[in-house]
């Protein structure tokens, strides 16, 4: 555990663990995870050695989007517990030296939030808190599409106007052009800081500034307009982030800030995370999780992912943020499929080694790594075969709309099985028992059948498990400064199977060798630095200096 977690830049050698409350641990038998459940499992995080817990939303919510639609920012939803339960969780974390980061969803509220309820009245002083616009040619004001299918505008009978919702109609977008909106958000954030939280993960934060002229966005030829075009990275983004930082005291209080920024580039991230500008500490890029889709066709248009493209993408971010700014590192979260099923090989033969190797590669990059619950066990995609098994509104809407457009159901189910968000949301697998020990009731999503093999109890008991590999990687970050600071250099960029790179500070060098494929791979002698005299760390297949790597074999050489 790092010594002083609230010193400036403390998050540089930290590892963050994301908890999706609905799926982590149920304590009252209603089949839905809750805050007392999370608190009861904190020893798991302590054993893993993580420094920060990022808590996905637990605020009051109608749960249209599982809590990313907030109706009261100052209260906990009864489904998850009470404010007192949240205080207990914060205290339980702090006792273990773990910091707690809240999810902050302020691009939009729920349509059931009091602000929006008032805003529905055209005469209300809060009318301008959201994006209300008259119809254009009898239809929506612009051709913008919602991320969750259909137009991004919803018609309101009462006023005869439309309101903007980039996500579901139950998630109206706040109008950040209005200074009262911004002050209300900052005041709420200050209340959470006063309550003892250690930072914020900011949901789609680059969407808070939109082009107020609401430009028409032309659909790319031959396909529907993609979501997020015209609504992100607006002209006042930096101004709003700097104002938020100043008004809440984000830098001053050494709070961790990570902004989710779909559609951001290295150049934008470099500006946003430049400490001198006082905006955010780091951002979540979407570039590497978009490489397995047909370019420009959206997340459901599947495509194989050539390893050189993935390596080049991460290397580009490493280089772009080498001198200024900071990276966040992730494979997984509650919106993405499981890493081992997506980038690895989740077959019984290769699951363990591929989960370890993916972890080694990610955690040895420069930046702050994020571990999504269950990733440390090598949990796999849900394996659903019928639409009835899905719960996520994005998946259900897609299924309905794609079938209506005439897409073959088999193709739609393949897309959902590969990319659907419920893949990451099945209950955490604690034991091999009923529902994986997640609940004594009926879980809101079924626990995966592979819980008899993939579960925390078995993983903790087995020193060769994926869990202990993650634990050692986290320990290595805390004890080996090169992991935190070392300059990154990608080697063999075009090799289709192996991921090889070095991290260097002065004469201290770490060389990472990883076969990211399910067949043996060979590295040519002379194409990488000499391994003689190096010490082998965290090998997946036992210490070795051989340049023929077994499927998913990886190791770190230290000199």
* Residue numbers at the binding site for ligand TEU (CB under 6 A): 65, 68, 105, 147, 167, 203-204, 260, 262, 299, 334-335, 394
369: β partners: 329
Shortest Å, Cβ 286 to ligand TEU = 7
Shortest Cβ 277–ligand TEU spacing (Å): 24
Residue written as token pair 């934060």: 205
Q: Which is nearer to ligand TEU, 335 or 376 (CB)?
A: 335
Q: Which of 165/495 has CB closer to ligand TEU? A: 165
For residue 14, report the phi and psi dihedrals to the nearest 5 degrees: -100, 155
Which residues partner with 346 through β-bridges? none
Residues in the chain: 559
Task: Give start and end residues of each alpha helix (H) in 447-518.
Answer: 456-461, 466-479, 481-485
Question: Looking at 69, 198, 203, 480, which residue is catalytic?
Answer: 203
Instruction: Clarify whether 203 is annotated catalytic.
Output: yes
Q: Which of 92, 259 has the CB closer to ligand TEU?
A: 259
Contact 552, 344 (CB under 8 A): yes
Do 540 and 474 form a contact (C-beta atoms < 8 A)? no
Taking the C-alpha atoms of residue 453 and residue 456, their distance in angstroms, rounded to an integer, is 10
User: Of these residues, 65, 69, 260, 376, which one is catalytic?
Assistant: 260
Residue 216 CB, shortest distance to ligand TEU, in Å, is 21
Both tokens of 325, joined, read: 């700014």
- What's the min distance (Å) between Cβ of 411 and ligand TEU? 17
Q: What's the closest the beta carbon of residue 4 comes to ligand TEU, in angstroms?
A: 30
170 contacts 109 by C-beta, under 8 angstroms: no
Q: What is the largest CA-CA distance in the chain?
A: 77
Can 216 be counted among the known catalytic residues?
no
CA distance 395 to 53: 27
Of the pair 130, 167, the CB lying nearest ligand TEU is at 167
Determine the residue with CB nearest ligand TEU.
68
CB of 398 to ligand TEU, least distance (A): 9
Mapping DSSP to helix (H, G, I), strand (E, B) and coil, where does residue 418 land? Answer: helix
Sheet with 328-329: list strands edge to edge.
Answer: 282-284, 256-260, 199-202, 99-104, 52-55, 16-19, 368-372, 328-329
What is the rounded distance in angstroms from the CA atom of residue 276 to the CA atom of residue 488?
A: 23
Closest listed residue to residue 518, CA positions, set 348, 383, 294: 348
Q: Which is nearer to ligand TEU, 45 or 147 (CB)?
A: 147
Closer residue to ligand TEU (CB): 364 or 398? 398
Cite the active site residues. Answer: 203, 260
């Amino acid at each position: 555990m790092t010594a002083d977690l609230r010193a400036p830049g403390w998050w540089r050698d930290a590892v963050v663990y994301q908890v999706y409350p609905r799926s982590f641990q149920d304590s009252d038998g209603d089949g839905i995870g809750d805050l007392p459940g999370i608190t009861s499992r904190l020893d798991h995080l302590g054993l893993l050695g993580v420094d920060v817990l990022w808590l996905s939303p637990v605020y009051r919510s109608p749960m249209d989007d599982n809590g990313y639609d907030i109706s009261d920012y100052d209260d906990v939803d009864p489904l998850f517990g009470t404010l007192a339960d949240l205080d207990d969780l914060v205290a339980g974390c702090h006792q273990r030296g773990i910091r707690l980061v809240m999810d902050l969803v302020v691009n939009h509220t729920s349509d059931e939030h009091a602000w929006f309820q008032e805003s529905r009245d055209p005469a209300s002083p809060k009318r301008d808190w959201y994006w209300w616009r008259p119809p254009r040619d009898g239809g929506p004001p612009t051709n913008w599409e919602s991320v969750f299918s259909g137009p991004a505008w919803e018609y309101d009978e009462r006023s005869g106007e439309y309101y903007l919702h980039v996500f579901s109609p139950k998630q109206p977008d706040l109008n950040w052009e209005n200074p009262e909106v911004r002050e209300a958000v900052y005041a709420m954030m200050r209340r959470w800081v006063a309550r003892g939280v250690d930072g914020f993960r900011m949901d789609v934060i680059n969407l808070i500034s939109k082009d107020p002229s609401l430009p028409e966005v032309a659909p790319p030829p031959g396909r529907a307009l993609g979501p997020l075009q015209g609504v992100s990275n607006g002209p006042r983004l930096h101004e709003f982030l700097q104002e938020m930082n100043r008004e809440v005291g984000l830098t001053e209080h050494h709070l961790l800030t990570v902004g989710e920024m779909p559609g951001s580039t290295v150049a934008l991230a470099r500006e946003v995370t430049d400490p001198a500008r006082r905006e955010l500490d780091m951002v979540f890029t979407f570039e590497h999780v978009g490489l397995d889709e047909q370019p420009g066709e959206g997340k459901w248009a599947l495509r194989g992912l050539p390893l050189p493209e993935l390596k080049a993408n991460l290397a580009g971010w490493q280089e772009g943020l080498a001198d200024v700014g900071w990276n966040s590192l992730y494979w997984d979260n509650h919106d993405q499929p499981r890493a081992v099923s997506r980038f690895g090989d989740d077959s019984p033969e290769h699951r363990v080694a591929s989960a370890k190797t993916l972890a080694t590669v990610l955690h040895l990059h420069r930046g702050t790594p994020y571990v999504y619950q269950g990733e440390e066990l090598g949990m796999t995609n849900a394996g659903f075969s019928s639409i009835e098994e899905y719960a996520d509104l994005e998946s259900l809407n897609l299924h309905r709309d794609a079938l209506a457009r005439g897409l073959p159901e088999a193709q739609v189910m393949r897309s959902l099985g590969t990319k659907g968000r419920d893949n990451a949301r099945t209950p955490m697998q604690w034991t091999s028992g009923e529902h994986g020990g997640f609940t004594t009731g009926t879980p809101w999503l079924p626990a995966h059948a592979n819980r008899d093999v993939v579960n925390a109890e078995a993983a903790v008991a087995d020193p060769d498990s994926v869990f202990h590999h993650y634990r050692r990687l986290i320990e290595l970050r805390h004890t080996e400064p090169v992991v935190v600071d070392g300059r990154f250099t990608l080697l063999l960029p075009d090799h289709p199977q192996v991921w090889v790179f070095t991290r260097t500070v002065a004469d201290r060098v770490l060389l990472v060798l990883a076969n990211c494929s399910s067949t043996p791979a060979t590295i040519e002698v002379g194409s990488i630095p000499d391994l003689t005299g190096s010490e082998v760390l965290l090998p997946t297949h036992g210490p070795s200096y051989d340049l023929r790597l077994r499927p998913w074999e990886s190791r770190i050489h230290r000199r």
